[in-house]
Amino acid sequence: MQARLSIRSWQEPLPETGGVAVAFDIFRCCTTIHTLMARDSGPVYVARTVKEAAADPRVNGWRVFSELSQEISCAERFDNSPTLAQSFRWADQKPALVATTSGTPSLFAARGFEQVYVGSLLNYSALIRHLTRLNKPITLLPSALPGSEHVEDEIAAYGVATALEGFANMPDFVRQCGEQTVERVRHSPRPGLLAGKIETGAEDARIALELDRYDHVLALDFESGPIARVVRV
């Protein structure tokens, strides 16, 4: 499988078919998606952009999680924050939609692959176990835009690659790779920058670095149009 593993930019031309992809936006998009799915308070969807999602009349009754400023008609709107996705108390169940700057566009850029997974450190070991069982090419896609100060997505992708290229069938080795990945992100400038930039930034980073918090693996079910449903696989 080592020869069938690659790390690529989601902004470059990607294969139309064949193999699977894993997109990583761990601060904060993918963590928000995993947190919403774990709450089980309604179906979770992603959209490439807020503008495209706004054209779908279903969204009028949904909760929308996005840091983007574009207007959209919805039931409730929140920042793209796993802290809010985890802590906000809702009186009812409604679908939730996530649309972000680069995380959800990177997921949609991989639409031509056989399967697109929502990469995260929250389910690191479960994701490695799942990918190890696949006899398919695997493409890892850091979601941060080239030239940005975001290093965490590349660190996460290389951490998954290290586990897959090593003793991926040994849980202790996989866990060790995950712990090293978390420490590399934690000691990068990014957690501090996020904490200084966003009110929930420190807590968002803390949640994103909770290794193996979940045992689920999440992928996208692309419907017709610009919205995809998040599913457990």
Look up the CATH number of the domain holding residue 159: 3.90.1560.10
pLDDT number for residue 17:
66
pLDDT number for residue 199:
96
By residue range, what is the domain housing residue 61?
Answer: 2-232
Of 209, 26, 183, 225, the C-alpha closest to 118 is 26
Pairing outcome for strands 76-78 and 44-47: unpaired
pLDDT number for residue 107:
97
Tokens 């993918």 appear where? 30
H/E segment holding residue 171: helix 171-186
217: its two tokens: 């693996």
Beta carbons within 8 Å of 176's beta carbon, 6+ residues apart: none
User: pLDDT of 106-161, one tens digit each?
Assistant: 999 999 999 999 999 999 999 999 999 998 999 999 998 766 678 999 999 999 99
CB atoms within 10 A of CB 104: 32
- The CA–CA distances, whole Å, from 184 to 33, 121, 197, 208 equal 23, 12, 20, 13
Tokens 């449903």 appear where? 229
Domain total in the chain: 1
Beta carbons within 8 Å of 136's beta carbon, 6+ residues apart: 4, 18, 19, 20, 114
H/E segment holding residue 119: strand 115-119
pLDDT mean values, one per 10 residues, the chain (233 residues): 78 83 97 96 95 95 96 96 94 94 96 96 98 94 81 96 94 97 96 95 98 98 91 97
187: its two tokens: 């000691």
pLDDT number for residue 4:
87
pTM of full prediction above 0.85: yes
